[in-house]
Structure 1
Amino acid sequence: MASATEIDAMRRALQLARGGPRGLNPQVGAVILSPTGDVLAEGFHRGAGTPHAEVDALSQLPPGAAAGATAVVTLEPCNHTGRTGPCAVALLEAGVSRVVYALDDPTDAASGGAARLRSAGVDVESGVERDAAAALVHDWTHLQRTGRPVVTVKWAQSLDGRAAADDGTSQWITGPDARRDVHLRRAAADAIIAGTGTVRADDPALTARAEDGSLLENQPVPVVIGESEVAPDAAVHRHPHPVILARTRDLFVVLADLGARGIQRVFVEGGPTLASSFLRAGLADEVLVYVAPVLLGGSRLALGDIGVSTIADARRLRVTRIETLGDDLLVVAHPHETTPDPHGDA
C-alpha cells in the first residue's frame, strides 16, 4: 500500500504533469523520493521528442543518486523505444527499487513497463490516485482508443428551441454569464470548429475572449469545414493560430486529420447545420445547450435533421449537469453510449 508520503508525491506529480503540452503524447509527471521519503527530483514530459517524465526527473540527479529510490509516476513507465528509450529501462539502470504509478498505459505499444520492472525485482504498485490521473489524460486516452478528438457540440437556443429570429438575427440570445462560460470552454478546447456557412454569414473570430474583448491565454485552433471558399479578409484569418480549412463534408475524415495533429478536444460551434451533422453522424461525445428564457417562434430551429424519423429512433441523452448562468440555463448531456468526461464537464 502506498504511504502518505507517496500519495503526496503522486499529487505533486499530477500538478507537474499539467505543465506539459497536450498533443499526441500524454501529460505525465514524476517525483523521485529518497529511501527516507525526501524529494530528490521532479520532472514532467515537455513535448514530443523530449525526455519522458521519469527520465526528465532522473536527469537532474548525479549518477547513482537514485539507487534505492522510489519513482512516483502518473502513468505506467513505458516499455517501448520511440524517439526516446523505454522509461522502464531508465529506471532500472538508475537503480530505483520501487515504482508507484497511477494509471496503466492504455496503448499496446508502450504498455508492459510494470511487468518489466517487476521481473527485474523492482517493487511496483499501481492505482495510486488513479481517478485523478485518468481525468488528466481522458482526452488523450480517447484519442488513442478512437483515433479522433473528444467532440463537444454546443448551441444556444430560446426556450422554444429557436437559434435565431425569423429575420436571421441571433446575437445575444443568451446573457453575459452564459457567454463568459462559452469562452472559457473555448479556451479549454484544442480546436474550435465552424462551418463555411457560419463563417460567411457571421464572420466569427473563433477566439476565446475575456469580457473586455481581450484574448484569453489559451486559444483553440480554428477549423472551418466545408467546400465553399473563405474570404481572404475573414476575421478567422486574424486568429492567433493559422486556420485549418477542411474542404470536405466528411466529418470522420476531418476528425481523423485533427487527431493525427494531436488535437485531443474540439468545440463545435458552427450553427444548426453543423451541430446537426455531428449529431446525425453519432460524433458528439458531449452536448452543451444554453437555454435563454425568451420565445422567438418562427422557423429558425436550433437543430435540423439528425436522422430521427420516428420516436423509436430518438437520440437519448443522459443529462449530467444543469447550471444556472444568470437568467440562462446550461444543460450538459452525454449520449448513453459515451463515457462522461471525468473533467467535470469542462
Structure 2
Amino acid sequence: MLAAYAARFDADDPISALEVGERPEPVAADGWVTVDVKATALNHHDLWSLKGVGLAEKNLPMILGCDAAGIDPDGNEVVVHAVISDPSWKGDETLDPKRSLLSEVHQGTLAQKIAVPAANVVPKPAGLSFEEAACLPTAWLTAYRMLFTQSPLKPGDTVLVQGAGGGVASSLITLARAAGLRVWATSRDEGKRAKAVEIGAHEAFESGARLPERVDAVMETVGQATWSHSLKSLKQGGTVVISGATSGQAPKSAELNRIFFLQLRVQGSTMGTRAELAELVQFMANAGIRPHIDSTYALADAREGFTKLNAGDVFGKIVFTV
C-alpha cells in the first residue's frame, strides 16, 4: 500500500528523511481493527519524527501520521483516536506512562490503511467531510482539552491564544469563541492576524504587543519565543496552558518570581482522551463548527505538504487525501 514514512533521521533537513512509497498492509491484532483511510492530516509531530525526536531508530521504517478519518470493517465512517494506551490501563489514557501516539511505536496514518485498537475509533460526524474530520484527532482535540479540561475558563472570560497560524492555535480560537469566551490572538504576520479575526478572535495583536488588559488564561503552543509575554499577559491567579514549544523549550528566563508572586498556574496538556474526542465531535456538530484546512494534497504528493509545513507558511491544517 502507498504510505509516507520515515526511512531515517535528519535533524537539519527532515524532508530528506521522508519516503513516499509502498509499505506492507497492516494486520490487525486481537481487539484491533483495520480502517480504510480516506483522509489524513499533517502535524508538527511528523516533522519532529523525521528529526529523530520521539521516534526510536529501532522502529524505522515508520509510517508517519497521527490523524485519520475513514471506514471501519463494518462500513461505518469513523475518526481515529491517536493515543494508544496499555490494554490494562484504566481511566485517562493520556496519563498512562506506557502510552504512545500512532507513528511512535505503532505504524501511523499516512497510508491507505491503519490498524488501531477497536476502542480508538469514534463515529465521524455526518456533517463533516473525511478531509475535515481528519483534522480533529490531534490539533482540535489538543485545543479542546486545553480549553475545557486543563483551564478554569468560563464563558465571559478572556483568553489569549499565542501564534495564531498553527493548527492547534487556529482550533483554539474557533472553539473558544463558540464557548462564549472573549478571544485575543497574536501573530508576527499581519495576514495571519486578519485570518485569526476572521475565524473568531475578537482582536489580534502583533507578537509581544502590550494588551489592553490582562487575561484570565493564555493558551501556549509556541514556547520559548512567547513564554515571557504569556506570563506578563496574565491576571493575578491566571493560568497558562502549554501543549507545545514549536520555537524551542528554553526561554531566556523561567520568570519564577513572577509565577509565585502573582500565584500563576502553569498547566501542561497533551492530546486528549477518547471520551474528549467524542465530546469534541458532538460540540462541533452542535455549534456548526468546521475545521480550518490550509491546503489539500494527494498522499502521493506528501512531500509537498511536508515542505510547506516545514516552511511555516500555514494557517490551519494540511490534509492528504487517500
TM-score normalised by L of structure 1: 0.27
* Structure with the larger RCO, 1 or 2 (CA within 8 Å, 6+ apart): 2
More strand by share: 2
Larger radius of gyration, structure 1 or 2? 1
TM-score normalised by L of structure 2: 0.29
